[in-house]
Chain A
Amino acid sequence: MSGQMELEFVQNFPCFSIMFCMFAGIISSAFKEKIARVLNIAVLTVNIILSAAVLLFTVRAGNYVYVMGKFPAPWGNELRIGVLEAGLALFFCVIMLLCLLGGRHKLVQEVEEGKQGLYYVLTDLMLSSLLALIYTNDLFTAYVFVEINTISACGLIMIRQNGRTIEAAVRYMIMSLLGSGLFLVGICMLYDLTGHLLMSNIQAEIGRIVAEGAYRPPLLVTIAIISVGLAIKSALFPFHAWLPDAYGYSTVSSAAVLSSLVSKGYIFLLFKIIYRVIGFDVFHDSKIVNMLFIFGLMGMVFGSLSAIKENDVRRMIAFSSVAQIGYIYMGIGMGTQVGMVASVFHVLSHAATKSLLFISAIGLTDVSGGSRKFIELTGSGYRNKCAGMAFSVGSLSMVGVPMFSGFISKLLFSQAAVQNEGKMLPTLIVLGISTILNAIYFMKTVIRIYTPVDDVEYPTVSWGENKIYAAVLLCFVALNVFLGICSQPIVDLIEKGLGMFA
């Protein structure tokens, strides 16, 4: 305690943001929908402001450690805040706010009266768990908040309460619990080998173990178990069976939040573990990166192939999520710094694009009599111009047309691939195949929604009817174009953040 510097007030903000969300969740559980919703939006706005302030501070002053309580590591709990963490927190808060505002009109229709307030409790706690996963420097805190994340994601899926969603929630819980169990066993074994639970201390111990060579086989198995546990939870290729049902049938703001934010929370935790617990070089030497790489490639191809077969627009978008998560794991699997930067950028780009696709798809299905089959969606782009335009922007970004964010991610992946001799050829081939497959199912949908149909009994919806929805779609499109055009400062920030991440 004597060696502590004076902290500026800004530096307390991460702790405040996590506790704010939790308080909002706790207090909202007593009230009905209206007050819960207002509290939720207020908390999200306040968090955006706080995260922006922290981001400005860390860009100026570098990263710092925030001790939760009087006792420093390794005895007490710690948060560690840098450029990457603050930037991701800001981004996640913005996306969550837009998703909740955009899906609100469907939430009112699809969920029972008395349970709508509980929905906002779930989103508050989900946000707090995401922020805690981003900021924490302690493995066991990460485990506890991973469990909060799992339970609130299950609640978000099942709030709609028809047969499909409950079965999807059960499947989700089963896969998630398998992943959590493996993750917990990995943490216990890591504690046994190193004797610490704080990430920086574990890294020092692992360095010593690798140098001395006493406990290397269990260390290898432990790293594998932790990676597989987190990969199961974020729906990497063979473990993605729960994803299409969960995203395809839940209410739209849940689907948007789940696809953009929940899996990204676990992937970010994996980044942290790779950089700060195991150490980038040790992870690269352990050849586990190759397994992640292969599964990422397979996910990219199989996800797109399954999406082409689909006849339901929301399940098609959900399968496309499987492919995109394959991209991110391919980037991690390349094992180079450039690959990691590409993965982090793809996390941002995918979060912005996938939520845009889900929210615009709901506008299209609304003007097609609520049906999600493609035959009914023909011509819906003319009936709801706002949603049609937004859906086209999202599809173009997914395919990788220049000026949108998807193009920059594919560019970064190709650059990373070219710099890595061994993995260059499979990466570029699979990137090409995946782009063609993406184009097949996304462009098919865009052409279909813009095919004029003669006799329509469905109403046309104009911009002014649901102003909030139109405004949300415009914000998403603007975010996508911003990521696509002004990408260089963002990539620089990511590189700077990853540099001080370890």
Chain B
Amino acid sequence: MRFMHYSEEEGCKVGANLLNNYGEAVAMVLFVIGFGNLMLQSNLIKKIIGLNIMDTAVYLFLAEKGYITGRAAPIVADGVQSAEAYINPVPSGLVLTGIVVSVSVSALMLSLTIRLYQRYHTLDLDEISLQLKKEGL
């Protein structure tokens, strides 16, 4: 692909920043673990846990993004207001929003799980589909 050729010509190697960005690498591995759980597990509670792992991984990624070595948290202390004294405040705001969304969605999924369990007495989504097909609604 055209993109790739250019980067190789300019000497940008794969893995140049992988060890330096180890926080983000761990975040991405956690994201895939959560993603896989949400998609592939048949137990509903495990799916919800996978969803939470996925969201937490995104917060870790954002927290890493905001960090700058040697600087303080963005609360104005002692009247110092120069941009070199504090880390980037934007990713922290994004994490706040993400946490609220994650809580709401988890609560919604859990209420759906309760209703399904009360009806079909199983937490396994495949079994529920099977029972529905046999009911033939």
Contacts and interface: CB of A to CB of B under 8 A. Distances in A.
A197 B129 CA distance: 41
Contacts of B119: 163, 166
Given A164-B132, A185-B31, 16 more contacts: A151-B104, A163-B119, A163-B132, A166-B119, A167-B129, A173-B109, A174-B39, A184-B58, A184-B98, A188-B62, A197-B90, A213-B10, A216-B3, A217-B7, A220-B1, A220-B3
Contacts of B94: 140, 188, 191
B48 to A, nearest CB: 10
A143 B6 CA distance: 32
Give the 9 A-B CB pairs with smallest separation, nearest first: A216-B3, A213-B6, A147-B101, A181-B54, A220-B3, A170-B112, A164-B137, A192-B65, A166-B115
B99 interface: no
A470 interface: no
B13 to A, nearest CB: 11
Contacts of B87: none
Interface string A213-241: 11011011000000000000000000000
Contacts of A213: 6-7, 10
Contacts of B12: 214, 217
A177 B105 CA distance: 9
B65 A188 contact: yes
B51 to A, nearest CB: 6
Interface residues of B, number: 44
Interface string B40-52: 0000100100010
Interface string B118-137: 01100001001100100101
Contacts of B34: 181
Interface of A: 140, 143-144, 147, 150-151, 154, 158, 161-164, 166-167, 169-171, 173-174, 177-178, 181-182, 184-185, 188, 191-192, 197, 213-214, 216-217, 219-220, 249, 285-287
Contacts of B51: 177, 181
A158 B115 CA distance: 11
A192 B58 CA distance: 13
Interface of B is mostly: helix
B4 A178 contact: no
B6 A154 contact: no
Contacts of B105: 147, 150-151, 173, 177
Contacts of B77: none
A170 B97 contact: no
A312 to B, nearest CB: 10
Contact of A181 (B6, B35, B132): B35
B108 interface: yes
A185 B6 contact: no
A182 B112 CA distance: 23
Contacts of B101: 144, 147
Contacts of B115: 161, 166
B33 interface: no
Nearest to B4: A217
Contact of A162 (B54, B108, B129, B137): B137
Contacts of A286: 3
Interface string B1-40: 1111011001010000000000000000001001100110
B85 interface: no
Contacts of B129: 167
Nearest to B51: A177
Nearest to B125: A170
B61 A188 contact: yes
